[in-house]
Amino acid sequence: DAEITQSPRHKITETGRQVTLACHQTWNHNNMFWYRQDLGHGLRLIHYSYGVQDTNKGEVSDGYSVSRSNTEDLPLTLESAASSQTSVYFCASSESFSGSVSSYTFGSGTRLTVV
Amino acid sequence: SQQGEEDPQALSIQEGENATMNCSYKTSINNLQWYRQNSGRGLVHLILIRSNEREKHSGRLRVTLDTSKKSSSLLITASRAADTASYFCATGLRGGAQKLVFGQGTRLTINP
């Protein structure tokens, strides 16, 4: 069965370190997204991609980067981790439809703690 | 700022009762979607309603959309303990972008 997997499930890192969170999907979806979820803020979009070599900034992109070298993967990198980036991170993917926004399939999330 | 705002933020009802959650949004939409999130898990898509639709059903779920008031409601009938979760509305905006903007969610608790 097709799936979307995130790794690791939990991560503790120190301030200033570079951290990469993995997202891998086998749905063959063109669209992939990274969100962070914090109490009081719901889900906020970090970065997204509509296909290979395409990346775009979301509303909270500062301190984060992504790259899309193939259809299946969209890794999220925290360049220099800060305590404000302690959060739960969700990856999602969706089909690409002209003129419409399709539903998302979400991963199980990565809980990141920056100490 | 968030496009969608859910109301109430938290709702607690008895098993068997109906639960209604509301969502308001600010700009023109292509469609509106509802998702469920169980504690510690990812979000799961429940239902999508297009901007030219007014009502949609899926099992015990009923979604309405009023584009003139920029609002939607999610009704869960005959609630069960397994319905305990957070529910989020998400709006797909007009204009070609294929990303969703999520609200902050309603925490629903079903008491046995």
Each residue's pLDDT tens digit, A8-60: 999 999 999 999 999 999 999 999 999 999 987 889 999 999 999 999 999 99
Q: How far apart are CA B40 and CA B26, in angstroms?
A: 29
Q: Quick check: B98 and A103 CB within 8 A?
A: no
Interatomic CA distance for residues B109 and B87, integer angstroms: 11
Averaged over B78-102, what is the pLDDT?
90
Residues 6+ apart with CB under 8 A from B65: B32, B49, B51, B53, B54, B55, B71, B72
Q: Examine the pLDDT at B1 and tell me if it is beyond 60.
A: no
pLDDT at B77: 98
- The mean pLDDT value of chain A amounts to 95
| B108 close contact with A: CB closer than 8 A | no
From chain B residues 15-34, the ones with a CB under 8 A of any chain A CB are 30-31, 33
Closest partner CB to A48 (pick from B33, B99, B102):
B99
CB contact under 8 A, A90 and B42: yes
Nearest to B30 among A40, A48, A100 (CB): A100
**Residue A112 backbone dihedrals phi, psi, to 5 degrees:** -110, 130
Which residues in B lie closer than 8 A to residue A94 (C-beta atoms)?
A: 98
Check whether B94 has a pLDDT greater than 80: no
- Checking if the pLDDT of B97 tops 80, the result is no
Per-residue pLDDT at B96: 63
Q: What is the pLDDT of residue A42?
A: 86
Q: What is the pLDDT of residue A62?
A: 97
Distance CA B22, CA B4 (A): 10
| Most A-contacting residue of B43, B47, B89, B93 (CB-CB within 10 A), to test interface | B43
Please, which pLDDT band fits residue B53 given cuts at 50, 70 and 90?
very high
What pLDDT is attached to residue B44? 97
Cβ-defined contact of A100 to B101 (cutoff 8 Å): no
